[in-house]
Amino acid sequence: MNRIDLIRKIFQNTNFKRYLEIGCERGYSFLPLKVKYKVAVDPNFRIPKKRKLRWLFKVPENINNKFFEEKSDDFFINRKNYLRRKKQFDVVLVDGMHTFRASLNDVLNSFNYLNIEGIIIMHDCLPPHKAAATTYCPTPKEQETINGWDGIWCGDVWKTIVYLRRKHLDIVDICVVNTDFGLGLVRPKGQVSHENLKIDEELFSEIDRLDYKDLMDNIKSMLNLKSSEYLTTIIEDIKIRNKR
């Protein structure tokens, strides 16, 4: 089960209606979802008009889609009035810039607008090899110098999981499921105080010094790694909580 399957099954098994996708680009995971209200954020959308029209015919709910072509940090700063008018998101997919800082900001910002029964799903939390864990987005020229580069870039998103587990285990449940390059699942245990969501820069710097070897040597404890079968448990738990 990949992230698209997981998100689809969550919406199929609940009365959730609101979805936010950070890092939409071509819309492959966004457009097929049958969700009443969907919001996409990306600084460089590359969705052909024909594809939008085709998916509007297949999924009429796409008529309500909102697209914000800007960086996610700018979205959360510039669209506060819009976000306050909307009810909270039930599911958020964080799949934007694959760096520690960017992904952490996306998660913490998303918490301000997340349903207490909802979930944040993070993509690329388990790089398949060292080259995929490069901490910056390499240019085509730089890719030639990276040993083992095969076109897969997960970056150091995994550090956000480590940070959240170190800093916020009292208020959120966090794990990574071993599928689709690592799906991070972040769910609030209760009401999250926005005051607690400022980045602890000292802890950030400490975790930022970790490298891919550190991850591989301590993968289960750092990520709370689960097998792919765990996704079925998550879906059932969300379904039960949603019926309360």
The 3-state DSSP class for residue 60 equals: helix
Residue 244 has pLDDT above 70, yes or no: no
Place of tokens 């009401």: 191
Beta strands at 183-188 and 172-177: parallel, antiparallel or unpaired: antiparallel
Residue 144's pLDDT band (cuts 50, 70, 90): confident
Place of tokens 């940070």: 163
Report, as an integer, the average pLDDT of 224-239.
92
Residue 214 has pLDDT above 80, yes or no: yes
The percent of residues in the chain predicted with pLDDT above 90, rounded, is: 80
Beta bridge partners of 91: 19, 119
Residue 201's pLDDT band (cuts 50, 70, 90): very high
CB 167 within 8 A of CB 199: no
Instruction: Indicate left, alpha or beta for 125 from its phi (over 0: left) and psi (-120 to 50: alpha).
Output: alpha
> What's the predicted TM-score (pTM) here?
0.95
CB 35 within 8 A of CB 18: yes
Mean residue pLDDT of the chain comes to 93
All domains of the chain in start order, with CATH = 3-242 (3.40.50.150)
Question: What pLDDT score was predicted for residue 190?
Answer: 76
Residue 86 has pLDDT above 80, yes or no: no
176 or 25: which carries more pLDDT confidence?
176
Question: What pLDDT score was predicted for residue 218?
Answer: 95
Report, as an integer, the average pLDDT of 180-188.
96
Residue 196's pLDDT band (cuts 50, 70, 90): confident
Residues with Cβ < 8 Å from 131, sequence gap 6 or more?
146, 147, 148, 149, 150, 152
Report, as an integer, the average pLDDT of 158-182.
95
Question: What pLDDT score was predicted for residue 84?
Answer: 85
Q: What is the pLDDT of residues 27-42, one digit of tens each?
A: 999 999 999 999 999 9
Residue 96 has pLDDT above 90, yes or no: yes
Token pair listed for 109: 């910002």
Phi, psi for 185 (deg, rounded to 5): -115, 120
Question: What pLDDT score was predicted for residue 195?
Answer: 67
Question: What pLDDT score was predicted for residue 12?
Answer: 92
Report, as an integer, the average pLDDT of 90-115.
96
Beta bridge partners of 147: none
Token pair listed for 43: 């600084």
Place of tokens 């939008």: 52
DSSP E strand stretches across 105-177: 114-122, 172-177
CB 39 within 8 A of CB 68: yes
Residue 242's pLDDT band (cuts 50, 70, 90): confident
Report, as an integer, the average pLDDT of 210-231.
95
Residue 192 has pLDDT above 80, yes or no: no
Token pair listed for 204: 């950030």
Among candidate residues 186, 3, 41, 38, the one with its CA nearest the CA of residue 108? 186
Report, as an integer, the average pLDDT of 220-229.
94
What is residue 15's DSSP assignment? -
The 3-state DSSP class for residue 238 equals: helix
What is residue 56's DSSP assignment? H
The 3-state DSSP class for residue 150 equals: coil
CB 59 within 8 A of CB 86: no
